[in-house]
Amino acid sequence: MHEALVAGFRRNPEPTVFIVNVIHAHEGKQEEAFRLIQDVVHYVAERKEGFLWSSLAKSTDGKTVVNIEAIAGEENVEEFFTDAVFLEKFKALHSVSTFEFHTYRVDDLVLPKRAALTASA
């Protein structure tokens, strides 16, 4: 039996690696771009141990989609891109968008100071 995972914040950042995809949808193609990257992310979530979580969002101006994805380590990027099915799904984004792909490592986590003040009161 699998234990349900719960997302949350910790006081100090853990050495998490993030993939950030900024997808610039062609005119009128934001929904399609969202569905395509959503399909990619669900594929990874179902099959890759290095996947931790993802947050997918559409800009309110209808122009972009972002995927902010936490992974276990930088080596997972190569693992994902050597998967032929993943690569085919990811390349489908070219038909509806241009995109940027960046890898980041957490250096700082900033939480509201007012939350700490309220808790200590």
What is the rounded CA–CA span in Å between residue 38 and residue 4?
A: 21
What is the rounded CA–CA span in Å between residue 67 and residue 114?
A: 29
Q: Is residue 12 part of a domain?
A: no
Q: Is residue 2 part of a domain?
A: no
Q: What is the mean pLDDT of the chain?
A: 88
pLDDT in tens, 32-48: 999 999 999 999 999 99
The whole domain housing 22 covers 17-120
Q: Is residue 50 part of a domain?
A: yes
Q: Is residue 114 part of a domain?
A: yes
What is the rounded CA–CA span in Å between residue 87 and residue 81?
A: 6
The yes-or-no verdict on residue 92 having pLDDT over 70 is yes
Q: Is residue 79 part of a domain?
A: yes
Biggest CA pair distance of the chain? 55
Q: Count of domains in the chain?
A: 1
We report the CATH number of the domain holding residue 44 as: 3.30.70.100
The two tokens of residue 87 are 């690569």
The two tokens of residue 25 are 């949808």
pLDDT in tens, 4-41: 666 665 666 567 899 999 999 999 999 999 999 999 99
Please give the pLDDT value at position 109. Answer: 77
The yes-or-no verdict on residue 116 having pLDDT over 70 is no
Q: Is residue 57 part of a domain?
A: yes
Q: Is residue 4 part of a domain?
A: no
Please give the pLDDT value at position 4. Answer: 66
What is the rounded CA–CA span in Å between residue 71 and residue 54?
A: 9
pTM: 0.82
